[in-house]
Amino acid sequence: MGTLMIIFCLILIMVCICSALLRWNQLRYSKKGLPPGTMGWPVFGETTEFLKQGPDFMKNQRLRFGSFFKSHILGCPTIVSMDAELNRYILMNESKGLVAGYPQSMLDILGTCNIAAVHGPSHRLMRGSLLSLITPTMLNDHLLPKIDDFMRSYLCGWDEFETVDIQEKSKHMAFLSSLLQIAETLKASEVEEYRTEFFKLVVGTLSVPIDLPGTNYRCGIQARNNIDRLLTKLMQERRESGEIFTDMLGYLMKKEENRYLLSDKEIRDQVVTILYSGYETVSTTSMMALKYLHDNPKALEELRREHLAIRDRKRPDEPLNLEDIKSMKFTRAVIFETSRLATVVNGVLRKTTHDLELNGYSIPKGWRIYVYTREINYDTSLYEDPMIFNPWRWMEKNLESKSHFLLFGGGVRHCPGKELGISEVSSFIHYFVTKYKWEEKGGEKLMVFPRVSAPKGYHLRVSPY
């Protein structure tokens, strides 16, 4: 009886302590003028609920507090905005104190010169450097030939396997395609070194920034250091060789006729940015496009017709060019609809550089603003039957020019690699649908948050078309 009483008292004390901590943390952020909302636990905030419940957490908070509320997620006090017009205003007004504000773990691992970490003149330098690598001329003359040659080779022989895990294949495709564009002279063993470290880096960027042995954060930092070592060695070898290289790294290192001269650290951060920014969007969009096309035979038939028409007017070994990519109108619609319905990117983060007023509320300096675009993708006032895969909606209306079109960000942070990413996904789809037909091996479940993924893989049986 005495033991039970002690246990009961301990539980009661713990409940009281937890209640007091939650109340104390709420009072800390009850400053007059802040939006409504809850703040959760000290230090951890509501991050656990956010990551576990994902979209349901956001929906519940929206029902309680409206489309503009406060929370404490990913390590910092955050304002969540789910209003289409307000989101556009936030993204278009970096000069008014709404700069990029990504999680600390991401900034630490991707580098202080990463385009997401800098603003003002530094951002213009890094963005200008990146845009100079992917101009239409560069895309047509240098990048697309590499992409085309890689996709042809990478997609060969898939019908020889009993099953193909498209999730793994698309991840490797996205990484290898980007790495080839950056440094086409790497040996197979060097590519494997980069691949091993890069996948550790990706996991570390969305971790709690606690630098202890065995944590994803520590592994991500170590992986970034190893990639820096590999890049430093490669750059030194290239300088000593005196050769001229026409890949991305070659252009970044070029001293003559280069408007955007970068330091070695800036070059390394730029390379990691290119690898990282396209990896998840290209791989996930490719996988989910095949999933949606499999489930929608009419859309697959129209898309395949578009690609077979391109092949009919080209020699068997003739590569795709920029005009071919531009002619893929329905493919572009499939890519946009896939990005919308799967919500490959849930939103973007901004940070206040000073106290400011937004939507009638006072937002303190240093707070994050999470422009949460996921629910906008399913807004019935913007998209008819939003839960249905309908690529034709992008053909009938000029939705790409609408103010709520935020699939690739907005303002000065609008994704600079948008057309390169679309070209990669289009090339992958082109060679896949003209070579193969496929069926799902069996109903693996897909997760949609915090990343779109198939925990047990997405397996297909592939056969010649």
CA dist., res. 194 & res. 200, Å (int) = 10
> With contact defined as beta carbons under 8 Å apart, do 34 and 355 qualify?
no
> Which residue blocks in 29-116 are alpha helix, DSSP H?
47-53, 55-65, 84-92, 104-110
If you ran DSSP here, which 8-state letter would residue 35 be given? P
CA dist., res. 180 & res. 144, Å (int) = 11
CA dist., res. 249 & res. 252, Å (int) = 5
In DSSP notation, 343-354 reads: TSS-EEEEEESS
Question: What is the DSSP pairing of strand 459-464 with strand 436-440?
Answer: antiparallel
For residue 371, what are the β-bridge partners? 81, 348
CA dist., res. 148 & res. 152, Å (int) = 6
Question: What is the DSSP pairing of strand 368-372 with strand 76-81?
Answer: parallel
Task: Print burial letters for 114-143: b (CB count within 10 Å at least 16), e (below 16).
Answer: bbbbbbeeebebbbebbeebbeeebbeebb
CA dist., res. 428 & res. 418, Å (int) = 16
Q: Is 104 exposed, middle or buried (0-12, 13-18, 19+ CB in 10 A)?
A: middle
Residues contacting 83, CB < 8 A, separation 6+? 67, 68, 359
Nearest CA-CA partner of 289 in 340, 327, 251? 340
CA dist., res. 265 & res. 420, Å (int) = 24
Instruction: For the chain, give the number of residues.
Output: 465
47 token code pair? 């991050």
Does residue 9 have a known ligand-binding role? no
Amino acid sitting at position 90: I
3-state SS class at 249: helix
448 token code pair? 């949609």
CA dist., res. 254 & res. 274, Å (int) = 17
Query: Annotated binding site for heme, which residues?
Result: 415
Query: Annotated binding site, which residues?
Result: 415
